[in-house]
Amino acid sequence: MRSLNHPMVWYLLRGSGVVTLLLFTAVVVLGIATTMRWRAGRLPRFVTLGLHRNVSLLAAVFLAIHIATAMLDSYAHVHLLQLFVPASTTRYGLFLGLGALSLDLLLAVMVTSLVRHRLSQRVWKGIHWLGYASWPVAFVHSVGIGTDRHLGWFQVTALACLGLLAATTGWRFASSLRRPFPKYLEARA
Amino acid sequence: MALHLKVNPILCDGYGQCAELLPELVELDEWGYPIVPRDPVGLRVEPAARRAVRMCPRLALSLEAAPR
Amino acid sequence: MSSVAAAERAPVRARLLGKDDHGPLPRALNSRERAVLLAEVEASGLRGRGGAGFPTAVKLATVARAGNAVVVANGTEGEPASWKDKVLLSSNPHLVVDGAFVAADLVGAREVIFTVGRAHTGVQAHLEHALAERRDHAFDVYLESAPDRFVAGEESALVNWLNGRDARPTIDRPFRKGFGGRPTLVQNVETLANLGLVARYGARWFRDTGTSEEPGTVLVTVHGAVKQPGVVEVELGTPIRDVLQRFGGLTALPQALLIGGYFGTWVRAHDALDLPLTNAALAPLGASLGARTIVVLPQDACGIRESARVARYLARESAGQCGPCVFGLPAMADALERVDVERLRRLAPQVSGRGACAHPTGATRFVASAVDVFSDEIERHRAGRCGGRSHPPVLPVGDSTEWR
């Protein structure tokens, strides 16, 4: 593939990466919020689920841009196989591999969600839970690989995403301790 | 062909999105679980019914040809 | 076996609990024999004896058409007040085995699975012994002991458990998608015992007792204010007063009868005692036979207190899968204890018919009948002055916690 040495491609690669991180953070938060039956103010609860799904599509678009520019850019120079298979032993290769792993997990979630009607509840749910793993892997990828990782604005953004996700996960966990989400509701008889 | 809304009570987790999307047809009981009518879904409401089926987080809602 | 010889051997009175030697079991091994036998079953009018009363011939034909079938002989009997299946399996297991094999012939099944409740090791032993005595068949026979839960005997729950999961009901119906995903015939053991006898002696013999709409004999479990609680075989149509006589008669003045077990209904004693034991006769009272469990409540017991205890038990026995059942049944038990009639009236349509199985529906019916029949007691009960304060419990409940 022809590689480009254009600064636009380089900026787009880094920019789309950050936006993807932000959007997928929102996706996970909205997903957790959906299971918590959370509503945005007085908006109906289907808005939470609707946003979860639509923002994930938007995030996928930015991820696609991120991947395309990574393949085009002459410095990043990512090959097709490297997108899906973590393989290299270099420091750069390690963090790239994490990105690939995260992409694999994400693709599993997206594909199963699109054909959800054909799958059993158990299979869909199991893979969706694997999707939880996709975020921390992507997070480490972004703080490890990015040449912006030393820059203040990036660090603030990354920390904000991490903080938001940790808070949401903590909220979910605390709520499940108070009112367990057992598979079978045992009524207080 | 008359379509009927059906809830799979085992899958249903009381999210209540169907009642929000389809208030013309779906009411919630006091615990947040949907009460769906036995009558067929009218043509005007059908698109909203299909949306409610798509949006159910547990895929518990369905539109079927035969009544219960 | 000629029909004359068969008729000579046919039991006259106790068909299910008698000690006749019936000889070798007639088999239906080709499609013509199967068709003839199926027609005979249809002519007999045999209906399921497990409580639902579904026409047996229809069930057999449906599963037979599907192919690759399995037979499950359901002796689980999760209802604590019902003992008939246990008694049948203990005293005449061979009749049940006969029927299971006949059913397997009819639906073309090779596997036959017998189930009993786990706690009843004596019953299991009898059945095991009987199965060991039967060598001349080509079936793969299994005996499984199911958890002692109220809903464990429900068709889809039983099959779910046989498939390695909890004994909780499913949306899938066994006759379509049951054991191992295959069409499965689940039949109560008493139904099977009758089926075996119909195969031997024919429809005309079967219809010789009972009524024309409800032919045959049935096993009835009776306890409460009778001298000898237990299980007896009676003809359908026998007056209820005479049925109770078979249990040694009443030990106290009866207040009400619970007919049909915990999914059944209470009826006032004076309304029911002279009625024949048929669904048709009980229908105007809003009652039906169900699995023919009858509990006689004496005058000095409190119907509300008993019913509230059972309602609480039914709430505990919810499989926990459907919101209206999980939340509605405890709410109904609460309301029944307080006898909050208004609350019960509001709860009923939110609970009845809104589960994946009949549990919430049956429980609602039971509770509603208690409020109806014991309406006189309500004020006294609320004031704590009801008769049953010191009366020992009449209705039994279970306490198992296993689902697998």
Inter-chain residue contact C326 with A188, CB threshold 8 Å:
no
Please report the pLDDT score of residue C1 as a whole number. 46
Q: Which of C151, C84, C159, C76 is nearest to C119 (CA)?
A: C76
Please say if the pLDDT value at position A189 is more than 50. Answer: no
Please say if the pLDDT value at position C153 is more than 90. Answer: yes
| Average pLDDT of the segment spanning C336-355 | 94
Contacts of A184 in chain C (CB under 8 A): 166, 168, 319-321
Q: C320 CB near a chain A CB, below 8 Å?
A: yes
For position C191, which CATH number holds?
Answer: 3.40.50.11540
Q: What are phi and psi of A138, to 5 degrees?
A: -65, -35
Inter-chain residue contact B30 with C350, CB threshold 8 Å:
yes
Inter-chain residue contact C322 with B14, CB threshold 8 Å:
no
Contacts of B35 in chain C (CB under 8 A): 350, 354
In angstroms, what is the C-alpha Rg of chain A?
Answer: 18
| Average pLDDT of the segment spanning C184-188 | 97
| Structure confidence by residue, pLDDT tens digits, C67-107 | 899 999 999 999 999 999 999 999 999 999 999 999 999 99
What is the Cα C114 distance to its own chain's centre?
16
| Structure confidence by residue, pLDDT tens digits, C246-291 | 999 999 999 999 999 999 999 999 999 999 999 999 999 999 999 9
Q: At what angle do helices A121-145 and A7-35 cross, to 10 degrees?
A: 140
Q: Do C293 and C149 share a structural domain?
A: no
Please say if the pLDDT value at position A181 is more than 60. Answer: no
Q: Do C308 and C164 share a structural domain?
A: no
Q: Is residue C402 part of a domain?
A: no
Inter-chain residue contact B15 with A45, CB threshold 8 Å:
yes
Two tokens, residue A54: 């639509």
Q: Is residue C81 part of a domain?
A: yes
- DSSP annotation string for C228-241: S-EEEEEETT-BHH
Inter-chain residue contact A184 with C327, CB threshold 8 Å:
no
Mutation to test the B interface, candidates A30, A37, A46, most B Cβ within 10 Å? A46
Q: Are C167 and C149 in contact (CB under 8 A)?
A: yes
Per-residue confidence at B17, pLDDT binned at 50, 70, 90? very high
Size of interface B-C (CB pairs under 8 A): 36
Q: Do C59 and C202 share a structural domain?
A: yes
Domain that holds residue C57: 3-206
Contacts of B11 in chain A (CB under 8 A): 121
| Average pLDDT of the segment spanning C346-354 | 96
| Residue C66 identity (one-letter amino acid) | A
Inter-chain residue contact B15 with A44, CB threshold 8 Å:
no
Q: C350 CB near a chain A CB, below 8 Å?
A: no
Degrees to nearest 5, angle at CA C373 with C392 and C317: 60
ipTM topping 0.90: yes
**In the Cβ-directed half-sphere of C375, how many Cα atoms lie within 13 Å?**
7
**Euclidean distance between CA atoms B6 and C53, whole angstroms:** 26
Inter-chain residue contact C327 with B9, CB threshold 8 Å:
no
- DSSP annotation string for A99-111: HHHHHHHHHHHHH
Size of interface A-B (CB pairs under 8 A): 25
* In chain A, % of residues over pLDDT 70: 93
Inter-chain residue contact C356 with B9, CB threshold 8 Å:
yes
Inter-chain residue contact B29 with C350, CB threshold 8 Å:
yes
Burial C336-354 (b: 16+ CB within 10 A, else e): bbebbeeebeebbebbbeb
| Structure confidence by residue, pLDDT tens digits, A16-73 | 999 999 999 999 999 999 988 888 888 888 999 999 999 999 999 999 999 999 888 8
Q: Which chains touch A (3 or more CB pairs under 8 A)?
A: B, C
Please report the pLDDT score of residue A81 as a whole number. 81
Q: At a CB cut-off of 8 Å and minimum separation 6, what does C70 contact?
A: C109, C111, C112, C113, C178, C179, C180, C182, C183, C184, C185
| Structure confidence by residue, pLDDT tens digits, C13-59 | 789 998 888 888 999 989 999 999 999 999 999 999 999 999 999 99
Helix, strand or coil, per DSSP, at residue B66: coil
Q: At a CB cut-off of 8 Å and minimum separation 6, what does C393 contact?
A: C306, C309
Please say if the pLDDT value at position C370 is more than 50. Answer: yes
Q: Which of C377, C356, C183 is nearest to C297 (CA)?
A: C377
E-assigned strand segments in C49-99:
70-75
End-to-end CA distance of chain A: 67
What total number of domains does chain B contain?
Answer: 1
* In chain C, % of residues over pLDDT 70: 97
**Cβ neighbours around C53 below 10 Å, total:** 16
Q: Do C144 and C50 share a structural domain?
A: yes
Q: A187 CB near a chain C CB, below 8 Å?
A: yes
- DSSP annotation string for A38-94: --STTS-THHHHHHHHHHHHHHHHHHHHHHHHHHHBTTT---HHHHH-----SHHHH
Which 8-state DSSP code applies to residue B3? B
Helix (H) or strand (E) holding A8: helix A7-35
> Across A140-154, A164-178, C180-194, which has the greatest mean pLDDT?
C180-194
B window 3-62, beta carbon within 8 A of A: 11, 15-17, 20-21, 55, 57-59
Q: Do C379 and C257 share a structural domain?
A: no
| Residue C30 identity (one-letter amino acid) | N
What total number of domains does chain C contain?
Answer: 3
Choosing from C278, C298, C318, the residue where a domain stops is C298
Please say if the pLDDT value at position A187 is more than 60. Answer: no
Q: Which of B52, B2, B3 is nearest to B24 (CA)?
A: B52
Q: Do C103 and C76 share a structural domain?
A: yes
| Structure confidence by residue, pLDDT tens digits, C291-315 | 999 999 999 899 999 999 999 999 9
Mutation to test the C interface, candidates B30, B36, B38, B61, most C Cβ within 10 Å? B30
Q: Do C131 and C31 share a structural domain?
A: yes
Please say if the pLDDT value at position C3 is more than 60. Answer: no
Mean pLDDT score of chain A, rounded to an integer? 87
Q: Do C345 and C313 share a structural domain?
A: yes
Inter-chain residue contact C323 with A185, CB threshold 8 Å:
yes
For position B18, which CATH number holds?
Answer: 3.30.70.20
Q: A81 CB near a chain C CB, below 8 Å?
A: no
Please say if the pLDDT value at position A177 is more than 80. Answer: no
CA distance B28 to chain C (A): 9
Residue of C nearest to A185 (CA): C320
Choosing from C298, C314, C331, the residue where a domain stops is C298
Contacts of C170 in chain B (CB under 8 A): 10
**Euclidean distance between CA atoms C16 and B45, whole angstroms:** 56
Please report the pLDDT score of residue C30 as a whole number. 92
Please say if the pLDDT value at position C8 is more than 70. Answer: no
Q: Do C294 and C307 share a structural domain?
A: no
Q: At a CB cut-off of 8 Å and minimum separation 6, what does C103 contact?
A: C60, C71, C73, C109, C185, C187, C192, C195
Per-residue confidence at A188, pLDDT binned at 50, 70, 90? very low
| Domain residue ranges of chain A, discontinuous segments joined by + | 7-178
Domain that holds residue B16: 4-64
Contacts of C327 in chain B (CB under 8 A): 31
Mean pLDDT score of chain C, rounded to an integer? 93
Q: Do C114 and C19 share a structural domain?
A: yes
| Structure confidence by residue, pLDDT tens digits, C108-122 | 999 999 999 999 999
Q: Do C195 and C92 share a structural domain?
A: yes
Inter-chain residue contact B59 with A37, CB threshold 8 Å:
no
Nearest to A185 among C166, C312, C326 (CB): C326
Please say if the pLDDT value at position C388 is more than 50. Answer: yes
Q: Do C366 and C311 share a structural domain?
A: yes
Name the one residue in this structure whose structure tokens are 């085009």: A72
| Average pLDDT of the segment spanning A104-123 | 90
Q: Which of C300, C225, C299, C224 is nearest to C255 (CA)?
A: C299
Mutation to test the B interface, candidates A42, A45, A118, A185, most B Cβ within 10 Å? A45
